[in-house]
Amino acid sequence: MTQDLIAKIESKGATVGIVGLGYVGLPLGLGFVAKGHRVLGLDIDANKVDAINAGRSYIEHIAAGPIADGVGAGLLSATSDFARAADCDALILAVPTPLSEHHEPDLSYVINTLESLLPHLREGQVLSLESTTYPGTTEEELRPRIESRGFAVGENFFLVYSPEREDPGNAQFNSVNIPKVMGGTTPACAEVGKALYEAVVEQVVPVASTQIAEFTKLLENIYRSVNIGLVNELKVAADKMGIDIWDVIEAAKTKPFGFKPFYPGPGLGGHCIPIDPFYLTWKAREYGVHTRFIELAGEVNESMPDYVVRKVGDALNTRKKAVNGSRILLMGLAYKEDVDDMRESPTFHLMDGLAALGAEIDYFDPHIPEITPTREHAAYTGRRSIAWTPENIAAYDCVVIATHHKAFDLASLVEHADRSVDTRNALAKAGVEAKPKQLIKA
């Protein structure tokens, strides 16, 4: 059965089911389609299903053309009917893995999705989990549920883990050219998983187990979280000393070895770096290990929105104004530049912190004209980006650059804003000079 499934994949006779059509699932599915494979998207969001079947994109940096072409060629379709999973030879799960309110792993999306698929699984399929999670999830949570259906994993059903490495908006790297780490539950599972991903990516990196693959993704993001936490802490120290940390980083990165630049900001965003480290800290406690570096970095990074709020207070104080009652504009709702991805964006925490002090808050983001429902910030659903006009900008007591989109007119900001707080060094990077006493860096 192993070789039959591999042959079916290699001959492009297999149907690949992508479960979860978000920032990870949609581009991966389009990667398979571009290689000539049939793809069936499964998602509980009827709007996404309808958009794909109509050849439309709902993610800004993904063009509609490849979707329409795939649908037109009969290679791409989508459904909310999970019974259609039986039509698939491969099932790839790309669903969220958030944290609970107590910073513990929330596997409900993974478990609920698998439970919805279980009645429709059949012999000769391979299932791959791509959602970031703690080491042992595939073996401890997925395998027992699959085996409860009577399947023999590694013989008539195949199970692998391959962490997503998406970077939304990255023009250089995408689902196809980013090396793909993959671990199988058994050697036969690994063999099938390797064939599956070699059908779409340029390089597959097999590892010895699903646990190694799961830990790999956590290491990648913990590395970034710890280094960002370090530079955020150094930013606060440098600020107290009257030193511009951005100048320090520019000087330090001229060293051709032993140093990689990381940059401070108003907090962490996206679905990976603010969340993934806590998956490992939670699992490590099961083994009596206290991951102090990881937890300290998390504390520092989570404190940065409060630091920025204090800086906004400083900016208003120069005008003898209080935060309470002031009108404040936040520039950039997306968690990173030039995308429409607002998952876990620190801007939401800035909104919360400033509103709690009595400020009147608006936002401007050309990539996100309206706030759609989120898990943690439902109260902001439906709020719309303001129109960027000189009159509008001049009406705010303070403007905070929370994300540095290339679309921002920073020269207009400097001309019309009374006070600005720059959390991204955006003005300096753009070569825009602020008026005296107008700008505070945070």
CB proximity list for 134: less than 8 A, separation 6 or greater: 105, 214, 218, 279, 280, 282, 283
Q: Are strands 180-184 and 157-161 parallel, antiparallel or unpaired?
A: antiparallel
Which amino acid, 227? N
What are φ and ψ of residue 419, in 5° steps? -140, 145
Strands (E), 152-210: 157-161, 180-184, 204-207
Catalytic (active site) residue 88? no
- Contacts of 31-37 with CB under 8 Å at 24 or more apart are 31/174, 31/175, 31/176, 31/200, 31/201, 32/199, 32/200, 33/66, 33/69, 33/70, 33/73, 33/75, 33/76, 34/66, 34/176, 35/199, 35/200, 36/12, 36/75, 37/12, 37/75, 37/199, 37/200
Diameter over CA atoms, the chain: 75
Closest CA to 413 of 341, 313, 405: 405
Tokens coding 4: 């039959």
Q: What is the dihedral of CA 281, 285, 289, 295, to 10 degrees?
A: 30
What's the CA gap between 393 and 386, in Å, rounded?
A: 10
Q: Which of the following is catalytic: 88, 189, 272, 398?
A: 272
Give the CA angle between residues 80, 86, 89 to the nearest 5°: 110
Helix (H) or strand (E) segment spanning residue 354: helix 346-356
Give the residue numbers marked as catalytic.
Answer: 272
